[in-house]
A = this chain, B = another copy of it.
Amino acid sequence: MQQFTQNKLTPATDEQFVLDHQLCFMLYSASREMTKLYRPLLEKLDLTYPQYLTLLVLWEQNGITVKELGQRLYLDSGTLTPLLKRMETQGLLSRQRDKTDERKVIITLTQRGHSLKEEARCIPSALYSQAGQSPEVLARLFADMKELLAHLHQANLRQN
């Protein structure tokens, strides 16, 4: 009987465990497919997807600390330090200790870092057209996702 419920031919599936019914799996796989769609465009600029997100933040607010960058991206220094070092090596930004508080490291875009913004100008619209959804659905999805993210972030803060 135990064997019976484990048989792959048995259609009596555990509804709650069906992979394709899990919201978490939709998020996980859609996020990766989205990144995959960015890849060919970002490759031309010699950027990875997390590096591109980092530039989005810096184009908004140049000269912020690693900490502040991490708060925007939900990433910690363990991820950001090596990523920023690679971007520094590529000549996109500089990392220097804050003179008034030596614990902090300030990230500043180089000329090259600034100019990449113009080379990236076509990317956002190119992606939205490839998503293949109506503006209405995309707007609703975005709003729902934003609220979900806020809830998930709060829930994780409560954990610690």
A interface, CB within 8 angstroms of B: 6, 8, 13-14, 16-38, 40, 49, 53, 56-57, 59-63, 72-74, 109, 114, 117, 120-121, 124-125, 127-128, 130-133, 137-138, 140-142, 144-149, 151-156, 159
Contacts and interface: CB of A to CB of B under 8 A. Distances in A.
Contacts of A141: 23, 141, 144-145, 148
Mostly helix, strand, loop or mixed at chain A's interface? helix
A38 to B, nearest CB: 7
Nearest to A7: B62
B60 A142 contact: no
Q: How many copies of this chain does the complex contain?
A: 2
Given A27-B34, A27-B145, A133-B147, 4 more contacts: A6-B109, A14-B59, A23-B34, A28-B31
Given A33-B152, A131-B152, A17 B142 contact: no
